Amino acid sequence: MDPLEHFSIPGLVYLTLSGEPTLSGLLAVGAGALFPDVDALSKEHRSYLHSLLPFLPTLILGLHLRGLPLLFALGWGSHLFLDFFTGVIPPVYPLSRRGWGLSIVITGPRNFGIELKLIERYPDRKHDYRLEIGGSFALAILTILTAIIRLH
């Protein structure tokens, strides 16, 4: 999942569910949602910041402090949730590098079916990539338009 999707999806949820959304709230959710991919600077993507070990204390602190810290933690949680469905997250990294995710595949139109599979593997080594972001770009534009409408 690319950064535009990671920002836009929780951003749209925040803009939809918050009674009085603010720009600082949207930026806190977005910063939290992008933060785990700082892991890309380490030797493995989806490692330290994709683990529950630093996330859960941050969430507990956010629940205690409320406001922007909580929005940051919820954005971080959205990243882990979304990555669980697009690969694996290693819940106790660095104690164990093993990660889990859920693969959902739809086949059809002939022999229509839905395949659910729990996947288990180790994080990918850092590598160069090429992202096709057309759909993500459209989603980001919708998020910006929604923010313009919802933020006063």
Query: Which positions lie near Zn ion, rule CB under 5 A?
Result: 36-37, 83
- Tell me the closest approach of the beta carbon of residue 79 to Zn ion, in angstroms: 6
How far CA 8 is from CA of 17, 107, 128, in Å, comes to 14, 27, 23
Which residue, 93 or 146, has its beta carbon nearer to Zn ion?
93
Which residue, 110 or 125, has its beta carbon nearer to Zn ion?
125
- Tell me the closest approach of the beta carbon of residue 73 to Zn ion, in angstroms: 16
Which residue, 5 or 83, has its beta carbon nearer to Zn ion?
83
Report the distance separating Cα 109 and Cα 101, nearest Å.
26
Which residue, 71 or 79, has its beta carbon nearer to Zn ion?
79
- Tell me the closest approach of the beta carbon of residue 118 to Zn ion, in angstroms: 19
DSSP secondary structure string for all residues of 45-89: SSSGGGSHHHHHHHHHHHHHH-HHHHHHHHHHHHHHHHHHTSS-B
- Tell me the closest approach of the beta carbon of residue 51 to Zn ion, in angstroms: 11
Residue nearest to Zn ion (CB): 83
Q: Residues with Cβ < 8 Å from 98, sequence gap 6 or more?
A: 90, 120, 121, 122
Which residue, 5 or 37, has its beta carbon nearer to Zn ion?
37
Locus of tokens 């989806």: 46
Report the distance separating Cα 128 and Cα 133, nearest Å.
16
Q: Is the dihedral of CA 45, 116, 6, 66 positive or negative?
A: negative
